[in-house]
């Protein structure tokens, strides 16, 4: 009876393993490059760090809201006004800084379909892969931190700027991947290669934004300072809250440095906005 019980237990364990493999194969393949690979060697670690059911929906919900608001705003536009009432209410307007929600809600306003589609593609592809391992609420905090940092810094660098788009949040997600690599360096396979890829993407994109704004004959009006601020916020906030599979002493030092630097930078930006009333345009009711 004991032998039969052992055989049954082994059969059941193999059966569960095959079900687990088939159920998670696609999702595992999707994030295979982005998740610390050595963690996958231990099933308990994998189970604890990555969940695919229910699927990560944070970035999906944000993206759906952006699509709905864009379509509604476009349908409400008139011939005499290129911006609809939703855009006017949500975009960051330097003459209405007292309406504090604009420092966040400008992410729901986009300059045309192409601007919207590019942001959606990048934030869904990069955001979902982060949500699988680090959970949706962590990714959402990083995303919003990039959005807020983008509006605060861009408005300080250019007090007259009007901001639309979610690029600050998108760049925050991009550099959060870099933070995940830094904090899980020893658990990653080929961490240097992955880090180099993300750094090249970030630098090239910010560089192209600077070129289009200051060098190109036809300026695009892109606020690259919002991109840079979002990227820095995503990196610092990502180091603070992404999951760290195995904490080392050096990573603890990096964690403290990042959180202190983030608090100082955000504190300076917030105080500047509160105290520097004469620096910004006159507020309109």
From the number of C-beta atoms within 10 Å of its C-beta (0-12, 13-18, 19+), residue 210 rates as middle
The one catalytic residue in 110, 134, 227, 273 is: 227
**Sole residue written with tokens 């969940």:** 51
**φ, ψ at 163 (rounded to 5°):** -105, 135
Q: Residues of 42-67 as b/e, b for ≥16 C-beta within 10 angstroms? A: eeebbeebbbeeeebebbbebbeebe
- Assign 3-class secondary structure to 157-172: HCCCCCECCCHHHHHH
Distance CA 259, CA 222 (A): 29
Annotated active-site residue 219? The verdict is no
**Sole residue written with tokens 């991947």:** 177
Annotated active-site residue 227? The verdict is yes
CB atoms < 10 A from the CB of 3, how many? 7
Handedness of CA 116, 117, 119, 123 (dihedral sign): positive
- Residue 85 tokens read as 């009432």
The one catalytic residue in 167, 180, 223, 258 is: 167
Give the residue numbers marked as catalytic: 167, 227
């Amino acid at each position: 009876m004991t032998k039969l019980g052992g055989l049954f237990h082994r059969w059941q364990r193999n059966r569960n393993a095959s079900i687990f493999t088939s159920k998670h194969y696609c999702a595992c393949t999707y994030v295979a490059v982005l998740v610390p690979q050595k963690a996958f060697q231990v099933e308990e670690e994998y189970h604890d760090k990555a969940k695919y059911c229910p699927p990560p929906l944070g970035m999906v919900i944000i993206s759906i809201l952006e699509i709905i608001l864009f379509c509604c705003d476009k349908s409400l536009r008139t011939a005499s006004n290129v911006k609809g009432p939703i855009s006017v209410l949500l975009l960051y307007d330097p003459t209405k800084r007292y309406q504090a929600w604009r420092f966040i809600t400008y992410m729901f306003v986009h300059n045309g379909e192409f601007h919207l589609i590019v942001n959606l593609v990048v934030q869904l592809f990069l955001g979902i892969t982060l949500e699988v391992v680090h959970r949706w609420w962590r990714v959402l905090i990083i995303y919003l931190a990039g959005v807020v940092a983008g509006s605060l810094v861009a408005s300080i660098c250019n007090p007259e700027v009007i901001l639309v788009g979610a690029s600050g949040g998108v760049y925050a997600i991009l550099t959060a991947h870099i933070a995940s690599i830094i904090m899980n360096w020893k658990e990653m396979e080929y961490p240097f290669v992955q880090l180099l890829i993300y750094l090249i993407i970030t630098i090239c994109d910010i560089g192209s934004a600077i070129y289009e704004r200051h060098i190109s004959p036809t300026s695009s009006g892109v606020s690259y300072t919002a991109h840079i601020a979002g990227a820095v916020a995503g990196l610092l906030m990502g180091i603070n809250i992404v999951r760290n599979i195995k904490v080392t002493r050096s990573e603890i030092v990096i964690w403290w440095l990042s959180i202190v630097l983030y608090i100082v930078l955000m504190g300076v930006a917030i105080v500047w906005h509160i105290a520097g009333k004469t620096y910004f345009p006159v507020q309109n009711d």
